[in-house]
Every structure is written in C-alpha cells, then in structure tokens.
Amino acid sequence: MAKEVEKEIKKVGIGLVLSWIFSFLAIIAGVVDMSYSFAGGLFIILAGIIISPVFCSFIKKKFKVELTGWLKFLIFIILFIIGGILISNSLAYKTITGNGIVNSIESQTEQKSEIQSTCTPNWQCYEWSACMTNGIQTRTCFDSNNCQTSSGKPKESQSCTPQTQATSAWHNVTYFSGKGNKNTDSFFIKGDKVKITARTWNSYGFGSYSAVDLKKDNKAYIGTGLSISTQGSEDGNGETIYRNLKSGDYYISVISGIDWEVNVEEYY
C-alpha cells in the first residue's frame, strides 16, 4: 500500500511580511545614511538585520534560541534610535555648501573672520522718528556692505524733548459799555469763532428790549445777533457765538434804551 505523503503548507502571516519590509527598508536607509555618519548607518543596518526572518531562522538553528516578535521589535527600535541620534549629531556639525562641499563649523567661523577683516561697513540710517512721550526717539541703521559686524554702528536711539500741543481757549478781545443806541469802534478778529456776552440794566421797572450784533466793516452779513428782553427792573443777560468768521475788522452795533455792556472773546 502506497504511503501518502502529506506536504506541509506554510502559512505566511502579516507579521512575517512586515518583518521583510522593515528589514529591507532599514538596510537601504542604513547604507544611504553611512555617507553622513558611518556609525549611525551601521546601527540602522543592524536594526534591519535583527528584524529580518533570515536572521531569526539562523539564530534559531544555530543557537536554539527563538526571538519573539515583541523582542525583535524592541531591539529594532533601540538600534534605529541610536543610529538616528548619531546621524543627527553628525549633521549638526556639518553643513553642505552650494557646490556640495562639506565644511565644518570651525571652517565657517574662519571664513566669517576673514570676511570681517577685509570688509569695511557702510552704515546707512533712516530719519529719526518723532519724539515719543517718554522722551526717546529711534531710527534704524543698516550696513549696505553686509559685513556682519556691529563695529562703528551709529546709535539708534537718543533722548529728546516731546513737543507739547498748545490747547485752544477763549481770549478777551475788547470790552464796551454805554447807554442807548451805539456803534462801537472797530476791532480786529483773527477769524473762525467769536463769543459776544452782553448785560443790560436800569430799566426802571418797565422792562426793556436790547439787540446786540457783531458786524463787519464792509457791511457783509455774518449772522443773527443777540436779543435781550427783560421784565420789570431785572437785569438782562445774553450770550451768542459766531462761527466760521473770516479775519478782518468788526464792530458792535447796540440798539437799546438802557445801560449796557458788551464783552468780546475769540477762540484760538
């Protein structure tokens, strides 16, 4: 009777596939990284070998030791991290120039010193800023030759005296007093805004009406004036403001049958 030979069917799991992939990628990366750091690239290659199925089978047959999946992964991570640190440290002390030449930091420092010794700064400065309330004004200065030095750089701040803005206020222009109708003498107004303040008295208990107007010497109309009405023997008071006036000579026209006084103020 013929013996039936059972063929063993090997199952390929996702863990085995990932081991091959990580092993292959790590070895390729290690070879490439050896151009930056030989030791760093070597550690990454070892990480790829440790996780490879071939290496695990060799260890199992040779030494009768079987590495578990988690142990292989842990060794892989440790070796990979060590290799990455070595490569990073190597790159930190080297830089690639435009021509692909590797220069150390010491070489760059020497080149910078040579440039500074042969370069003469040409300092250019912008205008000073307005004086701030803290009594300081600033400006920005730069070296048009880009010598990478601060030697001889002009100062960029200095003390100053802030300019105080004048505040506008009412200023007395002139004063008139009298009795009855009257046109006062002319007086000069700078323009813009004028205030007229008037008072009347001595109506003898009959009440009164008075009109006070600001007029321009050229007879131009400048607006409604001030009217003051009183009852009995009370004093009369009034105030009005003319706006948007033009500079020139003006006078006060008073129509009244009693005593009066007028004060003229200008705002500037």
pLDDT tens column, 100-122: 444 555 556 666 665 556 899 99
State what percent of residues in the chain have pLDDT above 90: 35
170-267 adopts what CATH topology? Answer: Jelly Rolls (2.60.120)
Query: 3-class secondary structure for 98-161?
Result: CCCCEEEHHHHHHHHHHHHHHCCCCEEECCCCCCCCCCEEECCEEECCCCCCCCCCCCCEEECC
Q: Where are the domains of the chain?
A: 14-92, 105-159, 170-267
pLDDT tens column, 196-206: 999 998 877 77
User: Count H helices, E strands: the chain?
Assistant: 5, 15
Q: d(Cα 158, Cα 127) in Å, to the nearest integer?
A: 12
Instruction: Summarize the confidence of residues 71-98 as an average pLDDT.
Output: 75
Higher-scoring residue by pLDDT: 248, 22:
248
Six-digit token string for 91: 């790159």
**Its pTM surpasses 0.85:** no
